[in-house]
Structure 1
Amino acid sequence: MGRRNYLIEGLSGTGKTSVCDELQRRGHHAIHGDRELAYRGDPETGVPVAGFGHEHHIWDVDKVKALVADRDHAATFFCGGSRNFSKFIDLFDGAFVLHVDLATLNRRLDERPAEDWGGGQPTERDRLVQWHQTNGDVPANGAVIDATAPITQVVDEILRRCERRAAG
C-alpha cells in the first residue's frame, strides 16, 4: 500500500491540536500544521504580512509539498487550520473537518488563555462565529467529524474512515 496523506481541518477551537497529539501518542505520523507550517501571509500570493488575524494564517505550500512527497511513513496527518488550503488540498488523499456546535465552540474559546491565538479577541471571535454559521473557511469536500465526542473517539472515527478509504 502506498503512502497516504490526510488533512484534518476545522475552525479554531474544534480540536485539531488535540487530535494531532492523540495521533502522535498512538504512534502515527502527525504534523502540527499551526506550529510547523504556519506563518502570517496573503492566502493568494503567500507573501508574508504583518499583524494578527485568522484570515492571514497560512501554511508554507512548499513545505506541505515536501512532506507529502516523503514516503517514509504509511500515512501522514496534517492537523491545523490554513486560509490557503485551496493551494494544496489536491495533494491529500482525504480531508476531515472537525465540527462542534456553537455552544461548544464558544466554551472552548472561552477556556483558552487570553494570549492564545484568536481566543477571546472580539473581532476574531465574531469571524469564527460567522464562519461556523456559514461553514466557511473549511474544505467543502471534507468528511465532517463530530468533535464534541471524547478525543479518543474522534481519532478512532478518523482512523476508521482512513482505513475505509485505503481499502477502496
Structure 2
Amino acid sequence: MGRRNFLIEGGSGTGKTSVCEELARRGYHVVHGDRELAYQGDPETGAPMEDVTGLAVHDDHLWRVDKVKALVADQRQAVTFFCGGSRKFAKFIDLFNGVFVLEVDTETLVRRLDDRREDEWGGQRRQAELDLILRLHRTKADIPRGGIAIDATGPLAHVVDEILTLSGAVGQSAR
C-alpha cells in the first residue's frame, strides 16, 4: 500500500507487534501481518487448514501471498510497514524495498515471553512453545537472511527511530 514497502520481521518476542503499534501511533501506514494476513495453512501448498486443536502451529502460520502482493501494488501511501512473521516469506520478500529483522538477547526474550498472556503464542511458559521459540531464536531458522538487523532490546522509541532513519521514511507519515 505504499510506494515504498518494508517488512519488519523477527522471532517471537522480538517486538514486531510493539514496533507496528508505535509506527501506527506516529501516523505511519502499517499492516499487522499476523492480524490481517495470517492464517493456518499447509506450508507446502498454502491451502488453508482447519485448526482442530485450538492452538496455532508455528510451521503452519502463513500470510496470504496474494493479499501481500495486492497491498504492495497499491501505492496510495508514501511508505507502508508490514509487521509480523510468516513461514512463506520467500514467496513475497522480493516485493519489499527493505527488510528489518528485530533481534534481542535470550534474557530479554525470556522476560518478554514471561509477560505474555496465556492465549498468546509462547505465553505463560507453555513449555513446548517456549522450547521451540528458544531453538528458533538460537538458530534463526525462520528469519529472512540479508535483512537489516535492528537491536530491539532498547527503548521502543529508539528502535522505531532507527527503522525510520534506515528506511528513509522519517517525515513520510500520513499525518
- The amino acid that maps onto 1:48 is P
8 Å CA contact 2:121–2:129 kept in 1: the answer is no
User: Which amino acid counterpart does residue 25 of structure 1 have in structure 2?
Assistant: R
Aligned counterparts of 1:117 and 1:42: Cα–Cα separation in 2: 19
Q: Is the 8 A contact 1:54 1:118 kept in 2?
A: no
Stretch of structure 1 that moved more, 109-118 or 3-12: 109-118
Most deviating of 113-122 and 20-29: 113-122
Structure 2 counterpart of 1:124, which letter? E
1:76 aligns with 2:87: no
Equivalent AA in structure 2 for residue 6 of structure 1: F
1:22: which partner in 2?
22
For this pair of structures, how many residues does the alignment match?
163
**What's 1:37 paired with?**
37
Q: Secondary structure at the match of 1:42?
A: coil
In 2, Cα distance between equivalents of 1:107 and 1:159: 26
2:166 is the counterpart of 1:161? yes
Deviates more, 1:2-11 or 1:60-69: 2-11
Return the match for 1:144 from 146, 149, 152: 149
SS of the residue corresponding to residue 77 of structure 2 reads coil
The question of whether the paired residues in 1 share the 8 Å contact of 2:8 and 2:101 is answered with yes
Q: How does 1:82-101 map to 2 (within 5 A)?
A: 82-101=86-105
Q: 1:132 aligns with which of 126, 129, 137?
A: 137
TM-score (norm 1): 0.93
Counterpart of 2:46? 46
Residues 53 and 118, structure 1, Cα contact 8 Å, conserved in 2: no
Partner Cα distance (2:133, 2:117) in 1: 17
Report how far residue 46 of structure 1 moved. Answer: 0.6
Q: Aligned to 1:9, what secondary structure does the other structure show?
A: strand
Greater shift, 90-99 or 50-59, is seen at: 50-59
Deviation at 1:136, TM superposition (A): 1.5
| 2:100–2:147 Cα contact (<8 Å) kept | yes
SS in 1 for 2:6: strand
Q: Cα RMSD over matched residues?
A: 1.3
Query: 1:13 corresponds to which letter in structure 2?
Result: G
Identity of aligned residues (%): 62
Any runs of at least 4 consecutive aligned residues in structure 1 with deviations exceeding 4 A, and if so which?
Answer: none
